[in-house]
Structure 1
Amino acid sequence: MIPAMTDDLYADVLDEQLTRSDGRTVAWTRTGTGTPVLRLPGTPGSRWSIRADRALWNDRGLEVITTERPGFGDSSRLPGRKYKEHSDDLAAILDHLGLDRVYLTGGSGGGPHVLAFAAHHPDRVIAATIAVGFPQLNDDEYDQMIPFNTKAFRAARDGDEATLRELLGGAYEVVKTAPLAPLDAAMATAPASDLAVMSDPAWRAGQERATVAAFAQGMDGWYDEMLAMGGEWTDIDLAAITTSITWWHGPTDRNCPYAAAERLVDKLPTATLRTLGAGHFEPFMREGDILDELLSRKS
């Protein structure tokens, strides 16, 4: 069994959900009051992919809404999904909360979902930020990632579902008793800056809570997401995106190669690339700066 979660750090967080017209449950968390920020977590992530210490958000007067994608946490699985389905889920959440427009941010596997929401619901976004987002890869970029990602995304690209399930399933079996052990093992060859973040007790507390929640239904949501990310992004029209986007990325990121991110940003006329100092997890340490830059863009 996956270990139970403790709630002492999360008394201020509302755990909410709605039922979509097709009967699916869509869940999110909400904390704080003030300027609304819609957050799309990385992969595998959940509505509990939030900071254990939320002072950064509270100090800026933010209402932070953290979502989860189909198959993760309490959100119903949607086999074969790509991106538009979840972008419509996000619009339904905003309708439910009575929010017309929000600031939008997402990291890692949340990156392409930010692009999808900006493409399909541009009138709902004030401005957007992507931190170390996952881009589509050229053949020579797979080996630039940590070995686990190299194998998983190659299998997803090739439609090798058996290999992908075997790889993810092995990690999931470990997660059941040691939620962060697969991540620790996979990131063993990551840049030193990533390892420093991963040793931070506050980061680990938040990451463990998010991971336990993400796998509440099993690993199928992770599997569906990897297929979507590794396949063709046929339902994201980059040319349709008019939202102001800042994309933050580290040159030594071994989860999402910098060159691929740079190439994707070049296809977005309203996007600006800002270089972080190092690897994949630096946004945790730089979130104050990243939020301030996002909030400075009024339209």
Structure 2
Amino acid sequence: MNWINNVVRPKIRSLWSAKRDVPENLWVKCPETGEMVFHRDLEANQWVIPNSGYHMRMPPKERFVQLFDGSDYEAIATPAVTQDPLKFRDEKRYVDRLRDSRAKTGNDDAVLVGAGRVEGNAVVAAVQDFDFMGGSLGTAAGEAIIRGMEEAVARSAAFVMFTASGGARMQEGILSLMQMPRTTVAVEMLREAGLPYLVVLTNPTLGGVTASYAMLGDVHIAEPGALIGFAGPRVIEQTIREKLPEGFQRSEYLHEHGMVDLVVHRHEMRATIGRLVRLLTHAKGTALIPA
């Protein structure tokens, strides 16, 4: 009995522990085709499903790595804000939701800002993280975007905004909605400085974000298949009681109807942004843009 207790059982426990330590997300399922892709292959392909071309959500820091020359960028510190100005509570306290999102993403809030060079051009970029409370626009996100635009002016750099959001953050009420005019004023600051403002619309971009800075760019680029609009298609169908056209509010539909300037595959995004910045700043080098 001592041999079973002292040797066999500890061995079984160690094997069970090792099995439980294996990550559960080694394989990622394509939402369109159901194809299973090994997560390292997906990361190596910039979070694009190889066969279907479906663009998965991409972590903000990975965006910076893929965007900037040599994956070299400077993280820009963003202003601190009051965490829970309205002491909001629904099913959970707002402070608890913030804590959970920070633990999940490793970020303080939904927007990260970085600065570097894209094909030799000075660029400041901001990225919204949909995994942080749906990329919702609150005071912290608004302050981060404004800080990024101020940094672009200080560096005489182009500003690139990668949007991914469900809209305003309801837990902050009117304070969240005030970020729409505040970011709009910051966009005007870029224009007065004569600096390019490029918007990359990723899946999804909705609500107050679409109604403000997401649609104020000099050029609007969209990733393939991205859902872009104010209200979602299901809400619209329930309101007007009509079936919407196929692909309504998707990148390709909006490009066809003049709301989006370019639909660009993620593999071509860096080169396209580099060409656009050269074109808009009259920098030397080719400024050709793919049709």
The normalised TM-score by structure 1 is 0.36
Structure with more relative contact order (C-alpha pairs < 8 Å, separation 6 or more): 1
In the superposition, the TM-score normalised over structure 2's length comes to: 0.36
Q: Greater Rg, structure 1 or structure 2?
A: 2
